[in-house]
């Protein structure tokens, strides 16, 4: 019993920096889980902080948009476009004072080519054989695994840019 009472002040004397991840309320749960997993695995989560500091990462916006093709392009399996957009902010607080803040937005626009050349009707089989399974489909476009990989890459890119900005800021101090 006495050993437990002596250990409590030792814990209080050496506090750890607090780290929080927040997600905007309107985002789907799948994006929240993906953001938590991606940030926890990134070196941004392991930056050195003072014991009284708080690191806050916020996923403010995350959009995945596929352009709906017209009927003619849908029947010919022509190209489809995909747009990804992520906005993430990072804050470092020391007590009630905001020490550092940065908000970054990264966009990617991808074009998924269909298996026919425009106007010729000749299928391009060799490039199609190199695509992952399910990358092209007449109605659905890329499958969920490809979407998930693209989303995770985009979030990792935002985290990398935030880490680089944070390191550059602290090199100047």
pLDDT of residue 66: 72
pLDDT digits (tens, 9 = 90+) for 5-48: 333 333 333 357 889 999 998 888 888 888 999 998 999 988 88
What mean pLDDT value characterizes the chain? 74
| Maximum Cα–Cα distance across the chain | 85
Return the higher-pLDDT residue of 1 and 33.
33
Is residue 149 situated within a structural domain? yes
Q: If you ran DSSP here, which 8-state letter would residue 26 be given? A: T
The C-alpha atoms of residue 158 and residue 39 are separated, in whole angstroms, by 10
pLDDT of residue 102: 95
What is the pLDDT averaged over residues 86-111? 91
What is the pLDDT averaged over residues 159-170? 91
Is residue 12 situated within a structural domain? no
Is residue 154 situated within a structural domain? yes
- The domain in which residue 96 lies consists of 17-172
Please choose, from the candidates 21, 65, 78, 69, the residue with its C-alpha nearest in 3D space to the C-alpha of residue 44. 21
- Number of domains into which the chain is organized: 1
Residue 156's CATH number: 3.30.160
Is residue 22 situated within a structural domain? yes
| pLDDT bracket for residue 163 (50, 70, 90) | very high
Distances (CA, A) of 35 to 60, 130, 170: 11, 29, 25
- DSSP codes, 89-132: EEEEEETTEEEEEEEEEEEEEEEE--SB-TTT--B-HHHHHHSP
pLDDT of residue 161: 94
pLDDT of residue 82: 77
Lowest mean pLDDT among 29-43, 80-94, 107-121: 107-121
pLDDT of residue 79: 57
pLDDT digits (tens, 9 = 90+) for 133-162: 555 544 444 556 777 788 888 999 999 999
pTM value surpassing 0.95: no
Is residue 156 situated within a structural domain? yes
Is residue 121 situated within a structural domain? yes
Is residue 90 situated within a structural domain? yes
pLDDT of residue 54: 93
pLDDT of residue 81: 73
Is residue 138 situated within a structural domain? yes
């Amino acid at each position: 019993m006495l050993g437990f009472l002596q250990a409590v002040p030792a814990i209080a004397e050496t506090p750890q920096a607090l780290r929080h991840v927040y997600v905007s309320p309107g985002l789907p749960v799948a994006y929240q889980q993906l953001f938590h997993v991606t940030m926890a695995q990134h070196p941004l989560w392991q930056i050195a902080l003072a014991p009284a500091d708080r690191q806050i990462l916020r996923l403010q916006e995350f959009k995945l948009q596929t352009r709906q093709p017209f009927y003619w392009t849908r029947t010919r399996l022509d190209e489809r476009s995909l747009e990804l957009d992520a906005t993430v902010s990072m804050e470092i607080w020391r007590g009630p004072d905001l020490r550092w803040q940065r908000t970054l937005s990264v966009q990617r626009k991808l074009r998924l080519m269909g298996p026919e050349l425009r106007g010729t009707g000749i299928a391009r089989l060799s490039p199609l054989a190199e695509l992952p399974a399910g990358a092209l489909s007449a109605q659905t476009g890329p499958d969920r695994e490809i979407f998930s990989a693209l989303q995770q890459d985009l979030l990792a890119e935002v985290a990398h840019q935030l880490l680089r900005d944070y390191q550059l800021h602290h090199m100047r101090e």
